[in-house]
Structure 1
Amino acid sequence: MPVNILKLCVGADSIEDLADWQASQRPRWPAGRAIHVTRMFPKREAEILDGGSLFWVIKGIILCRQRILGLEQITEGDGITRCALILDADIIRTEAAPRRPFQGWRYLAPSDSPRDLVKGREREDPLPPALAQALAEIGLR
């Protein structure tokens, strides 16, 4: 059974901010992929690569995910080995789910992961963050 990763999307105020930043970085990445570098390499690699996704927390709310296609060890200019999460470039909107701040990333079981938005709702304008969080907290979004 796959396992997901949960990560804060620091510096982004919306899914569009995440998409714009990834688009600006695209020339540095392999075609059709996005890369996110994190300090720690997941120990549950096989479970993640069995269909897992990276769920993004934006302004305290899980709003979207990207499929994880691979994990690679990389060493940057500072000589420190890190983990590159190789992601599908498609950003999939999910139902809003509140999350408290945390450092690094966390494993996220499929049973605890928000569902993808129903077909036809992916292009809807997102709710204002405060409203989306309030609805998510009472289980209405």
Structure 2
Amino acid sequence: MTKVAFACPNLDVLRDRLAISGHTTTRFLPKRHTEMVGGSLFWIMDHALVARSEITGFDQPEAGGRWAIRLSGLIPVQPRARRAHQGWRYLEAADAPPDLAAGELAGAVLPGKLLRELARLGLD
């Protein structure tokens, strides 16, 4: 599953936000929610998948009718171009980027628009 890390300019801000709340919200419960528990929610920042959080469950609607997606941790992944979108989208396992190895840094991550253009040209 993919979701834009709204109002998070970097992974540290997202990590802090998740440490406080432990969840994100969505307007609609995914139809495949039972099979998604134990899977991952991949975060989009600057038009690129940059991290993932394990989905530990879904809670009944909060005030305002939004569903809580309970999450565990934040694991950086090898950046992969992904267009921003509203809400969430399913992500097939074959399209999921691998985690960064322990101690590996993403370094100077290319902007998502450039990553997308390189992928379009077959140079990713």
Question: For this structure pair, what is the TM-score category when the shorter chain's length is used for normalisation?
Answer: 0.7 to 0.9
Aligned with 1:62 (options 49, 59, 65): 49
Q: Residues of 2 paired with 1:105 and 1:125: CA distance?
A: 24
| Structure 1: runs of 5+ lacking an equivalent | none
Matched, 1:113 2:96: yes
The answer to whether the 8 Å contact 1:59/1:129 transfers is no
1:55–1:125 distance in 2 versus 1, CA, 3 Å? closer
Contact 2:81–2:115 (Cα < 8 Å) also in 1: no
Structure 2 distance, partners of 1:109, 1:45, is 14
Q: How many angstroms does 1:120 deviate by?
A: 2.4
Taking the TM superposition and a 5 Å limit, the aligned residue runs for 1:80-91 are 80-88=64-72, 90-91=73-74
Alpha-carbon deviations, 1:6-40, whole Å to 9, x = none? 000111111112113334xx2xx4xxxx1111111
Give the match's secondary structure for 2:54.
strand
Equivalent pair of 2:79/2:106 in contact (CA under 8 Å): no
Moved over 4 A (4+): none
TM-score scaled by length of structure 1: 0.75
Match of 2:58 among 68, 71, 75: 71
In the other structure, the counterpart of 1:36 is: 24
Aligned length: 119
Q: What is the identity, as a one-letter code, of the residue corresponding to 1:46?
A: T
Q: Note the C-alpha offset of 1:128.
A: 4.4
Residue number in structure 1 paired with 2:77 = 94
Distance 1:38 1:44, change over 3 A: same
Unaligned runs of 5+ in 2: none
* Alpha-carbon offset, residue 98 of structure 1: 0.8
